[in-house]
Structure 1
C-alpha cells in the first residue's frame, strides 16, 4: 500500500529496501455538530499502525480547502490549536510509511492540487504497477511533478479527465481504467467526497455513518469506532461511491472479478479489532495459531507471542494445544517496525529497544514462540537468543504466515527476493540461523482455513501467483534524468 511510492528508479519496485503501507480517512458531514477535523484526527490515530512516517488532514469549508501535513506521528503533528484552525464540513486524511529516500514533507498526503475546475485533494493507499508508464506519459505532455509519489499521477489523470467530464465523480470513473495495481482512494472536491477501490480489492476500504447524514470512509473499521461512526459496509472491489449533502451515492457498481484482498492485512497489518471484508482479524490470527499446532505439535511448558500480532496467534496456539499462554515479551510501542529500518545495523539495534523479556519467566522452560512473519530473519534470531540467555531450555519457533518467496507489487512491505531469507535458505536452515530447536511456518494451503473462506485473497508474496499485472522488467533499465525529488533544507 504504499500510497506515495517513490518514482525514482533507484527507489522503484526493484530496490532492495522495503516499501510502505498507508491508511486513508474521509468524512462528509452537513451536520454542524460534527467536527470533521477532530473526527479525522481520531480516525488517523486509530490507523497509526498503518503509517508512522507522515500524516495530513485536509478540510473543506464550503469549497475552500485548508490543510496541515507533517512528518512524524499523528499525536505529534496535530494539537488543539491546529485542529481548531481547520473548520469545515468535509475532510480527507492520510497516514503514510515511506522508503528512506522518499521521507520528505513534500510527499506527505493528502495531496492538494489546484486546477482548471477548482481544488482537488486525494489520499491513496496502494501501489500503481504502471506508475513508470503513467509518469512518462504525463511528463511528455508537460506535467510538472511536485512530488516523487505515484499518487500525484492519479491526481493529474483525474484533472485531465475533469476538463471534459460533466462531474468530478464521472472524471474519477473515467480515470481509474488508466491505472493498474492497487488503490483505495479518498478524493475530495469542493462539493463531494469520493471513495474508490481497485477491481481486485487489494487494500481495504469501509463505509461508516454518524447520525442521519454524516458518512465516513476509512481503511479499517477501527477508525469508524474511533470517530463514533457505525459500520455500513465495505466498498466493494471496483466500486466508486460518493458522499455529499444529499447522502451516499453509488457512482460505479462493483466489478464481478474475484476479490484479491491482501492476506497480509489479516496476518499483520490490520488492527485486531478491525473487520475486513466480513472477516474478524483477531479471530483469523487465532485460527492461524490453532492451525500451527495441528501442523506440528510439540511438547512445551509455555506459549508466548511476539507483540502485537504474534500474541493473537499464540493465544490460538495455546487454546488448541492446552499449553499455557503467558505474556513474556514487553513491547516499547514508541519504536517503529524493525524490518522497515533502512540499514541492517539500525534494525538489529532497534530489536532490543523495541522488545524486552519479563525477567525470570522462562528459566528452565520449553517455550513455543509465535511470530507473524520472517522477512530477513533479524528479529526472530535476536528474540530466540534473548530467550536462551534468559534460561529457556528449548525454543520452538512458529510463524503464522508461509515463507515470503516473492516481492509484493501491490503495497505491502515485502522487498525483492534478494532480501528475503526464505529465498536464500531452506526452512531447516532458517531454523538453525534463528537458533531455534524447531521451526514451522503456516502452510500455504492453510491460508484459506485461517480466513474461513475458500478464496478471494492475494497470496502472491508466498506463491508468486500475481492476480494483476506487475511492473515490466524492462522498466528497470530505464532512467528518470528529469525527475529528481524536491528536498527541503
Structure 2
C-alpha cells in the first residue's frame, strides 16, 4: 500500500528504546534527480546493495520537487527489500527526490512503526529522515521533548532527531540551519539523510563513527552509507562526506557544504572494516577488501599454526582467511557451502534463531576437510554459539584439528553507537579467558587479533575500538 503523507498515522508507543540498550546498524540512501525523473527504482536497488546492513525492515519515501504540495509518498514494512517492495509498489512511488533505509534493531522493537524513513508533517511542510546510528543522550532529549508536549509514534531515537529539526525549523531561515542546530543538541553516532520538499541533505557525526559518501549519475546526486550502493545504481563515487560535514543538494543541481561541526579528533568504527561493510566498498579512503587482507596477515604473524589448509567462515571471514594463507604460505580452501538465501546469523534477533540459522546457512564440504588440520578464520566471537557449531560440523566431517583465528580482538564491552554488541553478560569474552573460550567452542587453538594490530588494517585513520578496549570517544552518561 502506497501512502501519501498528509498526516502520519502510526500507533503510539512511548517505550524508550534506549532503556533496553537498543543498538542499530542500518543503511541509508538518498537520491535527487534534478532532471525530474522518478527515483524509486534507484532507491530500491541502492537498498538491495545495503541489505547486509539491516534485514528487519526497510522503506522508501519520495517527493516530486516540481509540484507545489510537497506531499511525500512512502512505503515501509518489516522484511527484506525484495519482500517489502514489488514492481507495482515501486511503480506507485512517483518523485524525483527520494530517501531509503534498511534497519536492524537488537531488541523487541522490531515493529512497522519503527521502520524508516520517518515521515513528518509539520508547520513548515514535510520532512523525511533516514538515520544510521545511535544517540547516547536519547533519554535526556526525549524527556525534554515529552515535557514540551511531543507525542512519540516510535521507540527510536531517530524520531527525536526529526522532532528537533522540526522544532528548530520554526526559528530558522532554512532546514539546513535547523539541522545544524539539532546536531549541536544530539550526541552519538549518526549518518543522516534528510529530504525536504526541495533539498536532499546528508549529515555525518563529527567523529566519523558512521560512514557516508557522495556520488553522481548524470544529473542525479546520491548520498549513501557505502560506496557499493553507488555502483549498484550506475553512479560514480565522488568522495566521502567528511565527519562533521553537512552536504546539501539543491534543486538546480548545486551542492553546498557546511563544516562548522567539524573537529580534529576522529573515531571511525573499526568494525566497519572487520565485518559490517561490504567487501567491495571503500570507506574513508580505505578499501574494505585490503583492510581484511591486512587483518589476515597480522593474525598469521601473531598466531602461526601447523596446518594443511586455511579457510574462512563465509562471507566476512573469507578475505581475512585469504590474507592469513598468503602470509603463512598455507593453501587457502573453501570449506563451507553457503546458502545465500539465509540471512546473517550475527544479526538475528534471538539466540534460538542464531543457532538454527547457522545450520541452515552453512554446510561443510567434506572432501576438502577430511583428514586435514584446518585454520578457521572468522571476524568475531560474540556469544560463541556460532563458532562452536562450526567446529563441531568440521570435526564431524573428518577434520583432524581446527585452529580458530579471529580478525577482531575479544568483545569485552557494549557499543553505544549503533553496533550490535550486546550487554557484557552476553559477551563470552567478558566472563571467560581465551583458554576457557577455546575449550567451550571446542577449538584446538584460539587466537584473537591483537588490539595494537587493528591500526594496521586502516593505516593512520583514527578509529573507535571501544567495544574492545573500553575507551569511548563519546561518554554515555545515561548508563554510567
* Fold match (TM-score > 0.5): yes
**Cα distance change, pair 462–7 in 1 and its aligned pair in 2 (3 A):** farther
Report the CA distance between 1:121 and its aligned residue. Answer: 0.4
Instruction: Indicate yes or no: 2:52 matched with 1:46.
Output: no
Residue deviations 1:13-54 (CA, integer Å, cap 9, x gap): 655xx743100000111124x431111011000000001111
For 1:188, the equivalent position in structure 2 comes to 195
How far apart are the structure 1 equivalents of 2:324 and 2:194?
Answer: 42
For 2:243, the equivalent position in structure 1 comes to 237
How far apart are the structure 1 equivalents of 2:328 and 2:196?
Answer: 54
Q: How does 1:337-356 map to 2 (within 5 A)?
A: 337-356=344-363
Residue deviations 1:324-348 (CA, integer Å, cap 9, x gap): 1111112222222323334433322
Equivalent of 1:23 in 21, 27, 37: 27
Report the CA distance between 1:429 and its aligned residue. Answer: 1.0
**Cα distance change, pair 425–449 in 1 and its aligned pair in 2 (3 A):** same
Instruction: Indicate yes or no: 2:310 matched with 1:303.
Output: yes
TM-score, scaled to structure 1: 0.92
Instruction: Indicate yes or no: 2:73 matched with 1:66.
Output: yes
Contact 2:23–2:134 (Cα < 8 Å) also in 1: no
Contact 2:133–2:190 (Cα < 8 Å) also in 1: yes
For 1:146, the equivalent position in structure 2 comes to 153
In structure 1, stretches of 5+ residues that fail to align are 1-5, 475-489
How far apart are the structure 2 equivalents of 1:471 and 1:48?
Answer: 32
Contact 2:14–2:152 (Cα < 8 Å) also in 1: no
Report the CA distance between 1:284 and its aligned residue. Answer: 0.4
How far apart are the structure 2 equivalents of 1:291 and 1:467?
Answer: 25
Equivalent of 1:454 in 452, 456, 460: 460
The DSSP-based 3-state class of the residue aligned with 2:257 is strand
How far apart are the structure 2 equivalents of 1:149 and 1:25?
Answer: 19
Instruction: Indicate yes or no: 2:43 matched with 1:36.
Output: no
Report the CA distance between 1:434 and its aligned residue. Answer: 1.1
Q: How does 1:411-426 map to 2 (within 5 A)?
A: 411-426=418-433
Instruction: Indicate yes or no: 2:113 matched with 1:106.
Output: yes
How far apart are the structure 2 equivalents of 1:87 and 1:473?
Answer: 44
Report the CA distance between 1:432 and its aligned residue. Answer: 1.1
The DSSP-based 3-state class of the residue aligned with 1:315 is helix
Report the CA distance between 1:229 and its aligned residue. Answer: 1.0
The DSSP-based 3-state class of the residue aligned with 1:392 is coil
Q: How does 1:128-147 map to 2 (within 5 A)?
A: 128-147=135-154
Report the CA distance between 1:87 and its aligned residue. Answer: 1.4
Contact 1:169–1:251 (Cα < 8 Å) also in 2: no
The DSSP-based 3-state class of the residue aligned with 1:294 is helix
Residue deviations 1:280-337 (CA, integer Å, cap 9, x gap): 0011011111110000111111111001110010111111111111111122222223
Instruction: Indicate yes or no: 2:227 matched with 1:221.
Output: yes
Contact 2:58–2:103 (Cα < 8 Å) also in 1: yes
Contact 1:7–1:150 (Cα < 8 Å) also in 2: no
The DSSP-based 3-state class of the residue aligned with 1:398 is strand
Contact 2:106–2:420 (Cα < 8 Å) also in 1: no
Contact 2:415–2:467 (Cα < 8 Å) also in 1: yes
For 1:480, the equivalent position in structure 2 comes to none
Instruction: Output the aligned Cα RMSD.
Output: 1.5
How far apart are the structure 1 equivalents of 2:173 and 2:281?
Answer: 37
For 1:119, the equivalent position in structure 2 comes to 126
For 2:215, the equivalent position in structure 1 comes to 208
How far apart are the structure 2 equivalents of 1:98 and 1:73?
Answer: 14
How far apart are the structure 1 equivalents of 2:416 and 2:91?
Answer: 39
Contact 2:215–2:222 (Cα < 8 Å) also in 1: yes
The DSSP-based 3-state class of the residue aligned with 2:272 is helix
For 2:3, the equivalent position in structure 1 comes to none
